[in-house]
Structure 1
Amino acid sequence: MDGVDWDEDDPFEEQRDSVESPMRRLLVEYGRPYWFSVSIGLIASVLARALDLLPALMLAVAIDAVFSDAAFAEQVPLSALPEAWLPTTEMGQFTFVVVVIAGSFAFGAIFHWLRNWGFNAFSQSVQHDVRTATYDKMQRLDMEFFANKQTGEMMSVLSNDVNQLERFLNEGMNSATRLIVMVVGITVLLFWLEPQLALVSLAPVPLIAMFTYLFVKKIQPKYAAVRSSVGKVNSRLENNLGGINVIKSSNTESFESGRVEDVSRKYYDTNWGAIWLRIKFFPGLQLISGIGFVLTFLVGGYWVFTGTGPGPITGELAVGTFVVFIMYTQQLVWPMAQFGQVINMYQRAEASSERIFGLMDEQGRIERDANADELEVYEGRVAYERVGFAYDDGEPVLEDVSFEVDGGETVALVGPTGAGKSTVLKLLLRLYDVDEGTIRIDGQDVRDVSLSSLRRSMGYVGQESFLFYGTVEENIAYGSFDASREEIEAAARAAEAHDFVQNLPDGYDTMVGERGVKLSGGQRQRIAIARAVLEDPDILVLDEATSDVDTETEMLIQRSIDDLTEDRTTFAIAHRLSTIKDADQILVLEGGQIVERGTHAKLLEEDGLYAHLWGVQAGEIDDLPQEFIERAQRRQARTEAKQYD
């Protein structure tokens, strides 16, 4: 119902499977430049947690020495200090304990601040670099990649997946450091104070380790599925919001709400599977951790009350030491339980980093040579030499396409839907690379020159006339960012756009809305033409530049196009044949091959496919041969079947 196959693989599965050690790669490639901030965070975290352990130790000193008869200097925490540093009076000893405890809190607060600064600075910097690097890589991928991925899925990588990394690098690493220091520190102190009771307190640790290992094994594939389902939800929402006009005009709000409910329910079910596992894991982990506290309380309490340890335990246990054990084992329960949360964040981050690096490692069909020569356009002469091309499915789209265009000429490409017209021009722009043959501009193979110089030499006006969110001026100047207001207005006049822009509420400073939604189709196309005029390209590509306008607007646009194409090599695709009848050369494509070529008058005389297409647009349908109609029906059926596949 929703058009999304939830049983199919993650759209990024192929990329994810090729990534090795994604978290190590993240830290090495993107974390290394920020070693100073993360080092500050790590060191401060260690010191802050070490100071957090000090008050309990000093409380034991107070109980056993200040409030009992035990020697102050012989207490375990103080035995390593020079005796000259320690006070001898009871009040002095009490004051010493209070000062040490107060100092631990004061310096601990400073180190906690440094810890938060260090980890936040590190995580935010890495997040920024990863997001910008991922976007930069994404926008440089071939068009073939975008044809196979939905916008919502890619947005999920740039937003949700990158945010998951930031959470682990900040909260996860911070918590991991705290837990390691607490667990290691408490373990060392417990064995230092009383090794026999320490063994009792830490008895559940092996069980906790095994329990956590099982959790990690089960949760990892669930998080990968969750990350995939987020992308599908985003894709559905992006599609619906982008087509809101169609939804409203078709009165299908209820239908689309149902489709969103379906994908949201799939996400709910997938995410709930991971949540349910966490719900069972964390209380279980806390219960196991609590066993250590109960055992410590039972064994230690019996030891203190009776004066002798149970079973094989020997010696005496001071009250202060017993209190410290109770406090430390209670502190140990929470870190042990929190360890699962860290593993949880790590698994989420690893699943996200696999998708991110899988995308970054994506290899396109277009080879980019950083040392390629710059394209130099002298005349604008273009030659296609036995060009062949097929998309990923392997079915040929173009076969043995050859033609030449002299500098300054206008060549039009016409033919039925699916004939390969747009593909011919995509190969010229190197949105794809030819599989066979060569395309040359003034004798230079387009594959041997830099992409930037190739595309800089061309201006493109498409049928969609995409506008960015911003002002009219910003959209005309897009790609020519240093243009002055005078140059922008001159380009708008040449594109027959200046008059209507002047009548907008804020003129050239009017916001056009997302994708230019506040403007009509004809207005958007004239702004797109003005953009091409401002670029002053050597070669112009027009892909049905008047497809979305009425007859009067088409006349205005055609006037501006005629001025723009004068003395400039131009390629034009048009379904309205009246707009290209004056072209120097018309190429008629069918089935990926050039089946006719010549001027408008010559092609009409030949009475072939072009003449029949002209007859269709002239309303002479009854005069068309039956063979042409049958061929059109077969072409339409093949096109629809291919789109379905």
Structure 2
Amino acid sequence: MARLFRSYGAADLHLFAVGLVTSVLGRFANLLPPLVLGVAIDAVFTQRAPYRLPLVPPEWIPTGTDAQLWLSAGLIVVAFLVSVTFGWAQGVSLSLFSNRVQHRVRTDAYRATQRLDMAFFDEERTGELLSVLEGDVRNLRAFLNGTVSGAIQLVVTVVGIAALLFYLNAQLALVTLVAVPLLGAFTLWFMRTVRPRYRALRASVGGLNSRLETNIQGIEVIKSTGTETYEDDRVTDASWAYYLRTWDVARLEYLYQPGMDLLAGVAFATTFVLGGYWLVVGPPPGFSGTLLPGEFVTFLFMTQRFVDPLAGLGRIVDSYENARASGERIFGLMDRPSAVADSDGEVPLDPDSVRGRVEYDAVDFRYGDDPDGDLVLHDLSFVAEPGETVAFVGPTGAGKSTAAKLLLRLYDPVDGTVRLDGRDVRDYRARDLRRAVGYVSQDVFLFDGTVAENVRYGRFDATDDEVREACVAAEADRFVRELPDGYDTRVGERGVKLSGGQRQRIAIARALLQDPAVLVLDEATSAVDTATEVAIQRALDRLTEGRTTVTIAHRLSTVRDADGILVLEGGRVVERGTHDDLVDEGGLYATLWAVQIGETDRLPPALLERIERAAVEGGSDD
């Protein structure tokens, strides 16, 4: 909470100060009417005491009862007007303050999230992140907007009322205020007990959000497989877990709040009984002096105003603990280190000056932080000279896509070095490196915008003509012009309004528009039909001339002309060479090639049996 104010509230502390000051003054103004009423009863109506107000010189007060009556009425009206005015000022200033802090925290948390490495996103659920960036940030705003001022008002009310009660009658004030330490002890117990429950509640919110978001994104799979009932049960389980966490907090609140009300009510009832006895019979045993009717009325009003804030202490504590749990999650996200971070001695990289020499030198890689975990890549080494095309092929899970992503520093190797133009890619600033390397993934993502906006993404200054040229090169221009609004057609969330092949060609156009020195194609033609594949391959052949290209393919026909082919199996390079050389060797590549061109009759019976067994077990690519 201290960090929240220090890091994100400092720029608008003047607004916070205005909110607190007006809150305090408004609370003081609220205490004036019952005080004036009690004084008026004793001085104007019963005339049993002189008209006296705290901190007001006697000579300022008129002597006539009529004048004193009008003075009382005027003070009460002014107090209500001041209270309303200060209440408005408090609401506006604290609302501005809390919303500005909310904006800064959310955008800063998002920036921090964007800069985390891909390993974080591999492990973290999207719904959990959205819960932090939206729900937890909103909890902080609610805390700043109402809870802080409420806590200040409570302190001011308790101190102010205690001072007035002691001013009126110190003996009766002691009876009324004896509940304060009891309420404080009860609140301390509640805070310590509810804190871990709130942490668990915030975590369950993320779990529920993740389940809902996953199911909405996968609705096509759910419907096509008829698994609505299964998913109903899974959402029910997640919602029930959230319900249990909510009830765990709620039942503690339902114990705390009535307990606070009971203690505060006992204090009020005790004050009423003792004060009433004092007026009717005389001083109770152990008490002395007189109690005027007006003082007693003021005591009852003040005690009630004293009881209500104390009874509301539970809501303040509740909001604070909720905000504290949210703050831990938000700042925990912000403080999480990235495994892929720019080095202290980063080297400027001008994308236009990149030659495109790519070198992998004894690269090892594993996912996760476990140093004893299984390696995904083992001792991967190769060199692609400027303008050459190197292809990774092999069974699914062999590490092909992972190897390509190391070039963009989406991950860093655990051992060995990846170099671009002779320098370790970790020496470059990650943003500059990724501008120099174009990337087309097999899992194409399009934003909910127009075709032109998606092609232009990453090169926002590109002209309409440049966008069209890129689409022509990617064999996308024809189908784009046939869309309802051409290049201004909205593609829908994740590009759902386009076919897989269309999305793939838009992604290729986006990469080509950047005109990178190095091009990474990860199954870039995996979602297109044979005719479209031929067209795209023809365009890629022209465009990769003079450009270093690292390509990954299951369709070996797309890499026949590669300068070098690396066959990966189990994360290791088991074969390397040109297409013709690898076919002649009769190894794994030759096997894959024979399967794809339908010449399995040439394969040995043992190898055919292996292929059939792998297909039955789900490893058809192997």
Question: Which bracket does the TM-score occupy, shorter chain normalised?
Answer: over 0.9
Match of 1:251 in 2: 226
> RMSD of the alignment, in Å?
1.8
Match of 1:47 in 2: 25
Match of 2:405 in 1: 426
After TM superposition, list the pairs within 5 Å mapping 1:427-576 onto structure 2: 427-576=406-555
Per the TM alignment, residue 242 of structure 1 is displaced from its structure 2 partner at its CA by: 0.8
Match of 1:16 in 2: none
111, 117, 120: which is aligned to 1:142? 117
Per the TM alignment, residue 70 of structure 1 is displaced from its structure 2 partner at its CA by: 4.0
57, 60, 80: which is aligned to 1:85? 60
Deviates more, 1:373-382 or 1:544-553: 373-382
> Does the C-alpha gap of structure 1 residues 61 and 636 become closer, same or farther in structure 2, counting only changes over 3 Å?
farther
Match of 1:59 in 2: 37
251, 262, 275: which is aligned to 1:276? 251
CA distance in 2, matches of 1:26, 1:629: 65
8 A Cα contact 1:540 1:568, kept in partner:
yes
The one-letter code matched in structure 1 to 2:443 is E
The one-letter code matched in structure 2 to 1:35 is L
Per the TM alignment, residue 549 of structure 1 is displaced from its structure 2 partner at its CA by: 1.8
8 A Cα contact 2:438 2:514, kept in partner:
yes
> Does the C-alpha gap of structure 1 residues 315 and 86 become closer, same or farther in structure 2, counting only changes over 3 Å?
same
- SS at 1:386's partner residue? strand
Match of 1:10 in 2: none
Match of 1:381 in 2: 357
> Does the C-alpha gap of structure 1 residues 639 and 425 become closer, same or farther in structure 2, counting only changes over 3 Å?
farther
Match of 2:279 in 1: 304
> Does the C-alpha gap of structure 1 residues 627 and 429 become closer, same or farther in structure 2, counting only changes over 3 Å?
farther
Q: Does 1:104 align with 2:79?
A: yes
- SS at 1:411's partner residue? strand
Q: TM-score if structure 2 supplies the norm length?
A: 0.96
Q: Does 1:319 align with 2:297?
A: no
8 A Cα contact 1:72 1:93, kept in partner:
no
Q: Does 1:37 align with 2:11?
A: no
Per-residue CA distance 1:31-54 (angstroms, 9 max, x = gap): 222211100100010000000100
The one-letter code matched in structure 1 to 2:429 is S
CA distance in 1, matches of 2:250, 2:433: 51
Per the TM alignment, residue 370 of structure 1 is displaced from its structure 2 partner at its CA by: 5.5
Match of 2:101 in 1: 126
Q: Does 1:367 align with 2:341?
A: yes
8 A Cα contact 1:390 1:398, kept in partner:
yes
Per the TM alignment, residue 339 of structure 1 is displaced from its structure 2 partner at its CA by: 0.3
8 A Cα contact 1:200 1:295, kept in partner:
yes
CA distance in 2, matches of 1:499, 1:418: 35
CA distance in 2, matches of 1:636, 1:265: 40
Per-residue CA distance 1:193-227 (angstroms, 9 max, x = gap): 11100011112222211221221122111111111
- SS at 2:376's partner residue? strand
Match of 1:27 in 2: 5
Per the TM alignment, residue 276 of structure 1 is displaced from its structure 2 partner at its CA by: 1.3
Deviates more, 1:291-300 or 1:428-437: 428-437
> Does the C-alpha gap of structure 1 residues 622 and 285 become closer, same or farther in structure 2, counting only changes over 3 Å?
farther
Q: Does 1:390 align with 2:366?
A: yes
Match of 1:4 in 2: none
- Structure 1's consecutive aligned runs of 4 or more residues displaced over 4 angstroms after TM superposition are 626-640
Per-residue CA distance 1:393-446 (angstroms, 9 max, x = gap): 521111211111110111110011111111111111101111111111111110
Per the TM alignment, residue 83 of structure 1 is displaced from its structure 2 partner at its CA by: 2.9
Match of 2:600 in 1: 621
- SS at 1:385's partner residue? strand
Per the TM alignment, residue 180 of structure 1 is displaced from its structure 2 partner at its CA by: 1.5
Deviates more, 1:480-489 or 1:50-59: 480-489
CA distance in 1, matches of 2:297, 2:30: 16
189, 194, 197: which is aligned to 2:169? 194
- SS at 1:541's partner residue? strand
Per the TM alignment, residue 232 of structure 1 is displaced from its structure 2 partner at its CA by: 0.8
CA distance in 2, matches of 1:633, 1:291: 82
Per-residue CA distance 1:237-257 (angstroms, 9 max, x = gap): 111111111111111112211
Deviates more, 1:155-164 or 1:615-624: 615-624
The one-letter code matched in structure 2 to 1:467 is L
Match of 1:19 in 2: none
Match of 2:328 in 1: 354
The one-letter code matched in structure 1 to 2:177 is L
8 A Cα contact 1:375 1:444, kept in partner:
no
Per the TM alignment, residue 371 of structure 1 is displaced from its structure 2 partner at its CA by: 4.8
Per the TM alignment, residue 261 of structure 1 is displaced from its structure 2 partner at its CA by: 1.1
Per the TM alignment, residue 81 of structure 1 is displaced from its structure 2 partner at its CA by: 1.9
- SS at 2:531's partner residue? helix
Per-residue CA distance 1:554-612 (angstroms, 9 max, x = gap): 22222232232121110100001111111111111112121111111111111111111
CA distance in 2, matches of 1:423, 1:635: 23
5+ residue gaps, structure 2? none
- SS at 1:571's partner residue? strand
Per the TM alignment, residue 631 of structure 1 is displaced from its structure 2 partner at its CA by: 6.8
CA distance in 2, matches of 1:574, 1:311: 96
8 A Cα contact 1:418 1:639, kept in partner:
no
Match of 2:141 in 1: 166
CA distance in 1, matches of 2:596, 2:377: 26
Match of 1:602 in 2: 581
> Does the C-alpha gap of structure 1 residues 631 and 433 become closer, same or farther in structure 2, counting only changes over 3 Å?
farther
Deviates more, 1:568-577 or 1:328-337: 328-337
5+ residue gaps, structure 1? 1-22, 641-645
